[in-house]
Chain A
């Protein structure tokens, strides 16, 4: 089997694990929001931070799902460097999200996790899609 086929399998596993981790983070958002508030907090502050947490969580989940769909569609199948980069970034992202859940990090770090480990791979994937659809590169 070629290198691209084996990379695809590993990339799928890394992305899927990252998606499952982000979905699990939903159940611990309460603890993270409480970690971000002072000891006697008002309900309005809590609601505001919870809304922000839900937005960042929802964006992270949607973007990882979009990247999975684009990966299965196969635009970036023959870009080995993109696959390796994706595997690395998603594994790092999964471990970071697990720490986010287990150590009850400040809820704002979810934004950093989202930008560094979800947004950047999706932009790279979209660049691959662009190169194939618009610039008509045929890397096979």
Chain B
């Protein structure tokens, strides 16, 4: 992701970024939207089919009861699953997204496997539509898990970066993380002639993303700024180390 340069000189607080500006996943959102629409149609049609089967087919009663119970479980869990996915993804909340992942894996996939494969008498519509539903849920589970993982990483790195601010690193200005809602407005307006390159920006703790050119430019900017408020080099090196348990994305 390209670093955003902020105009002006060193009077403004340095901006830092985590390696994702927005941790919400577009792919998951699209999947959830289309999956929700398909579930709505599928639920209504399958309810009608269940009612018809109950009246007209002569399956063993135990199977009819099992199928009914399984369908009711699906009908209760599916709106919850979609809701948790929406809220967790759009508001970037980990508990809701984790609940979405769990609901994907635990009631929905076994339920849909039963409905697609082990029902006693399958109509053609059920064979087709239940397989499509099962595929959607399996893909949702995978993408939801990947999104949860990247969201957790994003929030972990923000937490550690906030810790740097809380600990008060020597000589550094308070750092303001970029959020999904934009950067805070600059405190004062300075003539833009002072900034040599985009080197006022300090990269996140992903070590490889800070190249030697940036470091050299940061050093040059630090030397050329009037105030000694630029980030000193050892702070830069301290920031280059990855906190424990945080792998580079």
A24 within 8 A of B: yes
Q: Work out how many contacts link A and B, with CB atoms closer than 8 A.
A: 25
B132: nearest residue on chain A (CB-CB)?
A20
- The answer, yes or no, to whether B238 is at the interface (CB within 8 Å) is no
Cβ proximity bits B110-137 to A, threshold 8 Å, 1 near / 0 not: 0000000000000011011100100000
Is there a chain B Cβ closer than 8 Å to A9's Cβ? yes
Q: Are A24 and B37 in contact (CB under 8 A)?
A: no
B65 at the binding interface (Cβ < 8 Å): no
A9 contacts across to B, CB distance below 8 A: 33, 37
Say whether A13 contacts B128, CB under 8 Å: no
Of all chain A residues, the one with the shortest Cβ separation from B126 is A24
Q: Which size class do B's interface residues fall under? A: 10 to 19
Question: A1-26, CB under 8 A of B: which get 1 and which 0?
Answer: 00000000100110011001001101
Which residues of B sit under 8 angstroms from A13, Cβ to Cβ?
Answer: 37-38, 41
Is residue B51 contacting chain A, with contact meaning CB distance below 8 A?
no
Closest to A72 in B: B30
Q: Is A28 an interface residue (CB 8 A)?
A: yes
Contact A17 B41 (CB under 8 A): yes
Q: What is the minimal beta-carbon distance from A74 to any residue of chain B, in angstroms?
A: 10
Are B38 and A24 in contact, with the CB atoms below 8 A?
no
Q: Looking at the complex, which one of A12, A16, A27, A72 makes contact with B124 (CB distance below 8 Å)?
A: A27
Task: Kindly provide the distance from the CB of B45 to the nearest chain A CB, expressed in whole angstroms.
Answer: 9
**Which of B34, B125, B128 makes the CB contact (< 8 A) with A12?**
B34
Closest Cβ of chain A to B210, distance in Å, is 35
Given the contacts A27-B124, A28-B124, A72-B30, A20 and B37 also touching, CB distance less than 8 Å? no
Task: Please give the residue numbers on chain A whose beta carbons come within 8 Å of chain B beta carbons, in ascending order.
Answer: 9, 12-13, 16-17, 20, 23-24, 26-28, 72
> What are 18 A-to-B residue pairs whose CB atoms are below 8 Å?
A9-B33, A9-B37, A12-B34, A12-B37, A13-B37, A13-B38, A13-B41, A16-B37, A16-B38, A16-B41, A23-B128, A24-B124, A24-B128, A26-B124, A27-B124, A27-B127, A28-B124, A72-B30
A9-B33, A20-B125, A20-B129 known; 14 other A-B pairs, CB under 8 Å? Answer: A9-B37, A12-B34, A12-B37, A13-B37, A13-B41, A16-B37, A16-B38, A16-B41, A20-B132, A23-B128, A24-B124, A24-B128, A28-B124, A72-B34
